[in-house]
Amino acid sequence: MTGIILSILILTGINPRVAPDRMSTFTFSGGYGNRTGSNVVSGSIALRTNLVVHLSNSLEIGLNGGLYCIEQEQYPGGEDYPLKNGIIHAGVIGRYISQGSRWRFFMEIGSGYYSWNQNFLGYSTGGGIRYYPAGSNYFYCLEGKWHDNIQNLSEPSPGFYTITAGLGFSW
């Protein structure tokens, strides 16, 4: 999806301005992740990372991945089904960041491959805040995201949320 948008911009002659002092960003964050619902088991550690390029001062696109130690809820009827404890995620994201001096809010949406009890195509959406110390190339971030399935919609939803905090570096 992000590639399609970028292709359309390039083909129509709209070349987004790239900030001359910051071309790319790497972020690593950790926190908590869990499912929602009535018979949800306890959540656990959520680790996320991403590498993005800046298309403008407010728009970024790139790759992201995560490891989430979340158990799947039991299927209704108590079926005997082997359940994994953990999700691996790899995909693409697009992010809009507000302009500001040190505090900047952002929204992001992504899509990618998730591996749980089965492999599926999923999406994520969320937002957060970044704090940029004066005169540095790094920043602190806090974010919340919802991850869900866009494939196999007849199956019980593997949707879950994550709340993470981390450190980023721009160059």
Q: What is the C-alpha separation between 15 and 104, in angstroms, rounded? A: 24
> Residue 69 in contact with residue 33, Cβ under 8 Å?
yes
Q: What is the pLDDT of residues 75-105, one digit of tens each?
A: 555 554 455 678 899 999 999 999 877 899 9
What whole-number percentage of the chain has pLDDT above 70?
71
Q: Is 26 left (phi over 0), alpha (psi -120 to 50) or beta?
A: beta
Q: What is the C-alpha separation between 18 and 60, in angstroms, rounded? A: 10
Say if pTM beats, i.e. exceeds, 0.75.
yes
Does position 15 have pLDDT exceeding 50, yes or no? no
Q: What is the pLDDT of residues 19-54, one digit of tens each?
A: 445 689 999 999 999 887 656 667 789 999 999 999
- Enumerate the domain spans of the chain: 17-170
**Structural domain 17-170, CATH architecture:** Beta Barrel (2.40)
Chain Cα centroid distance, residue 23: 20
Does position 3 have pLDDT exceeding 90, yes or no? no
Q: What is the pLDDT of residue 16?
A: 45
Quick one: which of 50, 89, 56 has its CA closest to 70?
Answer: 89
Locate 15 and state its tokens: 């070349």
Q: What is the pLDDT of residues 121-133, one digit of tens each?
A: 999 999 999 999 9
Question: H/E element holding 96?
Answer: strand 85-97
